[in-house]
Structure 1
């Protein structure tokens, strides 16, 4: 019989601080439109989960180049400042796995947009990296 681990990992203050520091680094790279630095914070292949314009679920796996190409297109040409204000709720599954729910406001060119998404981060070699992104509205780009 397989011995399952105890549920309900109790994250430490350091666990939370590490995840919030990871997001600060990612958001700073996004604000600079440094897509290569954003990709450095991921594990590839990267899983994507979304829905499409027909309200159907969609998923895909991207390699690094596909992530860089898509995010370069999405992030725009860099003529507008981008800022992020986010409230993040990490749910730790273990010391090395966390699902982070984010409610964010992204402001670009004076226009604010509300975002809700979730990321799965895993710790490898002592550093967090994102492995799965889940956000509505990307599905038509995943086919």
Structure 2
């Protein structure tokens, strides 16, 4: 029998704070619709897991160009910034891998939308980068 390593990793306070700082920067970039800067915070190819309009699970990968093009279209080019109020629950699988569950309220041009999603972040050097986005409703944009 093979004994697997203990993976019940407990992050330090600084590791938890580093995830919060990373998301604060990402939310700021998203709020300003700075899709290029958002892309700077990702690892490509970026994995996406979602479902489509038919209710079927789907997955795919985007390169940087596809991410910038799609997110630019989705976020629009409004003059008003987008605001986010988010509660995040990071689950560390190790010191360099975290799955972060997010419940968020996004407001843009007086319209409010609730979001629930998860991201897989990986540590690269002294910072984090997102490598996988998991959210319902993106499946028809994966092809």
TM-score normalized by the length of structure 2: 0.96
* Number of corresponding residues: 143
Aligned to 2:7: 7
Structure 2 Cα separation of the partners of residues 13 and 134 of structure 1: 25
CA offsets per residue over residues 7-36 of structure 1, 9 Å max, x none?
Answer: 210111011000000000000000111101
TM-score normalized by the length of structure 1: 0.96
Q: CA RMSD in A?
A: 1.1
Q: Could you tell me which runs of 5 or more consecutive residues in structure 2 were left unpaired when the two chains were aligned.
A: none
CA offsets per residue over residues 55-104 of structure 1, 9 Å max, x none?
Answer: 00111100000000001101101223310000000000000000000000
Offset, 1:127: 1.0
Structure 2 Cα separation of the partners of residues 81 and 7 of structure 1: 40
Q: Quick check: 42-51 or 74-83, which moved more?
A: 74-83
Q: Is the 8 A contact 2:33 2:81 kept in 1?
A: no
In the TM superposition, structure 1's runs of 4+ consecutive aligned residues that sit over 4 Å from their partners are: none
Offset, 1:4: 2.5
Aligned to 1:84: 84
